[in-house]
Amino acid sequence: AQSVSQHNHHVILSEAASLELGCNYSYGGTVNLFWYVQYPGQHLQLLLKYFSGDPLVKGIKGFEAEFIKSKFSFNLRKPSVQWSDTAEYFCAVGPYSGAGSYQLTFGKGTKLSVIP
Amino acid sequence: EAGVTQFPSHSVIEKGQTVTLRCDPISGHDNLYWYRRVMGKEIKFLLHFVKESKQDESGMPNNRFLAERTGGTYSTLKVQPAELEDSGVYFCASSQARDNSDNYGYTFGSGTRLTVV
């Protein structure tokens, strides 16, 4: 069975600090990888995704993630966080071929609080 | 473009009652998904419609949950009778059904927070 592990439940950073959120997955096949964000009171939004090609993926709002296949990891990074990055972040994985169902398996989420 | 709409946004019901959640996907999106997040846990897949057909309902927890998608448009998720452990946030998402990228191009609704007391 697929599973996604996010290492940190709650991260607190000061503005301008660098961010790295860990994500490891377990899946017996080729996967698509995603990071979603949920800002307070809003719906889940896609930050970035990896399907194939360059393992360093750039997303919106200055976020990037690196797929390391040998480590089954897809860590999220941002060099300098802002107060507006305060949100909950979710790593997710879906089977590459879809097999007709493009189901996502999510991690438990990491709450990020950025202190001005 | 209108987003995915879910209502109600909140629902508080007593154990044993029935609740129906509704999701209106983005027009033209054949894929419709239901997910649920119980407090402190992962967001978990419930089921997937392609148009009006259930493509995958492997995540439905038990037969107290019934999902329908009338005419391939909006979808409802009925819980009958509700139990305490059904409390959580129910998310709906939709996507186009073309290539791999489109199928995974989810747009999520804001969710329905269900509290069973």
DSSP bridge pairs for A105: A93
CB–CB contact B56 A101 (8 Å):
yes
Domain ranges, ordered by start, for chain B: 5-116
User: What amino acid occupies position B55?
Assistant: Q
CB–CB contact B42 A4 (8 Å):
yes
Domains of chain A, earliest start first: 3-96+105-115 (2.60.40.10)
Please give the pLDDT value at position A37.
97
The rounded distance, in Å, linking the Cα atoms of B6 and A95 is 27
State the best of A50, A101, A106 to mutate against chain B, taking most chain B CBs within 10 Å: A101
DSSP B5: E
In which element (H, E) is residue B103 found?
helix B100-103
CA-closest candidate to residue A75, choices A35, A47, A30, A31? A35
pLDDT class for A113, splitting at 50, 70, 90? Answer: very high
CB atoms within 10 A of CB B23: 26
Q: From the options 2.60.120.1360, 2.60.40.10, 2.40.30.20, 3.40.50.2300, give the CATH code of B5-116.
A: 2.60.40.10
What are the pLDDT digits (tens) for A18-71?
A: 999 999 999 878 889 999 999 998 999 999 999 999 999 999 999 999 999 999
DSSP B82: -
Percent of chain A with pLDDT over 70: 97
B chain contacts of residue A100, beta-carbon cutoff 8 Å: 50, 55-56
Total residues belonging to chain A: 116
Those of residues 26-65 in A touching chain B at CB distance below 8 A are: 32, 34, 36, 42-46, 49, 51
CB–CB contact B48 A46 (8 Å):
no
